[in-house]
Amino acid sequence: MTALLKEKSAAAQIEIRPVSGRIGAELGNIRLGGDLDAETFQTIRQALLKHRVIFFRNQQHLDDAEQERFAQLFGNLVAHPTEQVRSGSTAILELDTGTGYGRADQWHTDVTFVDAYPQISILRAVQVPVYGGDTVWANTVAAYEGLPPELKQLADRLWAVHSNKYDYAAQRPHATEVEKQHYENTFASTVYETEHPIVRIHPETGEKSLVLGYFIQKLVGQNHIDSARLFDVLQDHVTKLENTVRWRWQEGDVAIWDNRATQHYAINDYGDQRRIMRRSTIDGDVPVSIDGKRSHTRRKVTPLRQQAAE
């Protein structure tokens, strides 16, 4: 196998195999855990920055506690702002279709409806369907770099409002009543609205990436019709097949992605089969635009009925 297709760390003997041209690599010859030595962890971190999303097979030894110990090597864990974390855990979110939740079948970057959204997400496959249920990631740095110069100049100046409150019925017309109730009572129980630049500077690599996805409600200063058209033009560049990688899950797999440089989509093609995943997220930084302005929260609203209950 040529050097272009296979890299090897002399320090940790980790095999790094790219799985597509612009995003994604599988790391082999490693057992994940909270006791990794500094050199091994640094190899993983650099692979993540380079490949945007990295994959590990055969990590069945991980349980919730050890997943959290491993995740803490990347930084401070942060719980989902609206969802309940798994019982006995400090920050693990369970995505279980058996409970009517977990089908994230829209292109998104995790939790962009808050200002300092997570920098890194770590997802562990506990139970996977016999068929279907793949996840696709897109490289938002490559998407920006591929824009025509005139479109880059436009994107550089645009900001957008992100929110967890959206037209759920329109985006998920086939959702079950349980899923609809979960959205209303849990995911949208507190409404967040945050303004982010369409183009942010990556705090570690200095690269420019597009901040889009389906938490966007509208572009700042644009009406909803023009916002939708401009969003579609830019989002289509993100999801070009050349910018994506698709992963076929096996039980015990772990995927880690740079949430500042990617979007992802969980393909909802497995019917009523059960799919259980556990996700940890690492606290992020507030995005900075090309001209040095920082994202900011416009509002955070808890419904009066919930305030009364509290």
The verdict on whether 80 is a catalytic residue reads no
* Residue bearing tokens 């808050």: 114
The verdict on whether 202 is a catalytic residue reads no
Taking the C-alpha atoms of residue 20 and residue 106, their distance in angstroms, rounded to an integer, is 21
Q: What is the mean pLDDT of residues 19-28?
A: 98
Residue of 103, 108, 124, 202 marked active site? 108
pLDDT for position 100: 65
Task: Please state, for a pLDDT cut of 70, what percent of the chain lies above it.
Answer: 82
Residue 23 near residue 52, CB atoms below 8 Å = yes
pTM, two decimals, is 0.88
How far is the CA of 262 from the CAs of 82, 89, 110, in angstroms?
A: 22, 26, 9
Which of 223, 263, 262 shows the shortest CA–CA distance to 106?
A: 263
pLDDT for position 255: 98
The verdict on whether 264 is a catalytic residue reads yes
Query: Is 254 a residue whose pLDDT tops 50?
Result: yes
Give the model confidence (pLDDT) of 89-128 as tens digits: 668 999 999 876 667 889 999 999 999 999 999 999 999 9
Residue of 103, 124, 202, 279 marked active site? 279
Task: Please state, for a pLDDT cut of 90, what percent of the chain lies above it.
Answer: 75
Which of 109, 84, 82, 104 shows the shortest CA–CA distance to 187?
A: 82
Which of 186, 178, 198 shows the shortest CA–CA distance to 109?
A: 198
Selected residue with higher pLDDT from 86 and 113: 113
Residue of 124, 237, 264, 275 marked active site? 264
The verdict on whether 96 is a catalytic residue reads no
Query: Is 55 a residue whose pLDDT tops 60?
Result: yes
Please provide the DSSP assignment of 229-260 as one string: HHHHHHHHHHT-GGGEEEE---TT-EEEEETT
Give the model confidence (pLDDT) of 183-230 as tens digits: 455 545 688 999 999 999 999 999 999 999 999 999 999 999 999 999
pLDDT for position 165: 82
Domains of the chain: 7-309 (3.60.130.10)
Q: What is the mean pLDDT of residues 26-46?
A: 97
Give the model confidence (pLDDT) of 161-183 as tens digits: 999 885 433 344 455 555 545 44
pLDDT for position 176: 57
Residue of 64, 110, 253, 258 marked active site? 110
Q: Is 304 exposed, middle or buried (0-12, 13-18, 19+ CB in 10 A)?
A: exposed
Average pLDDT, the chain: 88
Residue 237 near residue 102, CB atoms below 8 Å = no
pLDDT for position 81: 79
